[in-house]
Amino acid sequence: MNVKNILAEKIAGEITLSPRPGATLRKWRNIFEISQTELANYLKVSPSVISDYESGRRASPGIKTIRKLIEAFFEIDEKRGGKIINRYTSMIESPKGVIEIMEYPYSIPARKFAESIHGEILTCEDILDKKTVKGFTLIDSISAIKTLSSTDYVSIYGWSTERALIFTGITYGRSPMIAVRVHPMKPSLVVYHKPSAVDSLASKLSEYENIPLIVTNLSLEDLKNILENLAYKE
């Protein structure tokens, strides 16, 4: 199966299964950097039709309409050089160590994100309100340390560095923050899931990089559910 088919299945599945298909449609339109007007012109419909779908004023599009929307995304992107499709090529398979990776259809204030996961803010709370989150990557830290290459590490940032990197399976959290420190790409937030303790070096590196460090003690299942449901709560 080629990249376009895999991506088409992913988009169609997300829109069809989403409790808020309009928000998911908007997410993908934004990922492809297409305006409502441009998409409407391509499909030869009024821009209000696209707006109504995305706002929920119009019933969820059927599978035939979803297929046309996806084809429009692809064809508009290909006319621009295929930037988004080419970018997705490297993301077909998540690297080992990545449990889940997701983009949000809109920016979430970092403080709201922290509160949603019942997070304890350990460092940099003074800058938390200046940051936003556009997605998350949930990482098995032990597996990641053993298997992630420098190329793989780039892929944990998905579509945007404006995201939360969430590390589970850690003891003191020194290694994840060192990895964040040495790599030029920086996340909005770093979250430790149920650490035994937090090493003082991890806190110091967090402060040095101006990246808030947050701890959550939710169960992994509850954490994943909350992270996924944030996509549908504006």
% of the chain surpassing 70 pLDDT:
90
Q: Can you give the pLDDT at residue 208?
A: 94
pLDDT band at 124 (very low <50, low <70, confident <90, very high): very high
% of the chain surpassing 90 pLDDT:
51
Q: What is the pTM of this model?
A: 0.68
What 3 state SS string does the chain have? CCHHHHHHHHHHHHHHHCCCHHHHHHHHHHHCCCCHHHHHHHHCCCHHHHHHHHHCCCCCCCHHHHHHHHHHHHHHHHHCCCHHHHHHHCCCCCCCCEEEEEEEEEEEEHHHHHHHCCCEECCCHHHHHHCEEEEEEEEEHHHHHHHCCHHHHHHCCCCCCCCEEEEECCCCCHHHHHHHHHCCCCCCEEEEECCCCCCHHHHHHHHHHCCCEEEECCCHHHHHHHHHHHHHCC
pLDDT at residue 109 greater than cutoff 90: yes
For the chain, domain boundaries: 3-89, 98-232
pLDDT at residue 118 greater than cutoff 60: yes
Report the topology of domain 98-232. Answer: 3.40.1390
Q: Which CATH superfamily is domain 3-89 in?
A: lambda repressor-like DNA-binding domains (1.10.260.40)
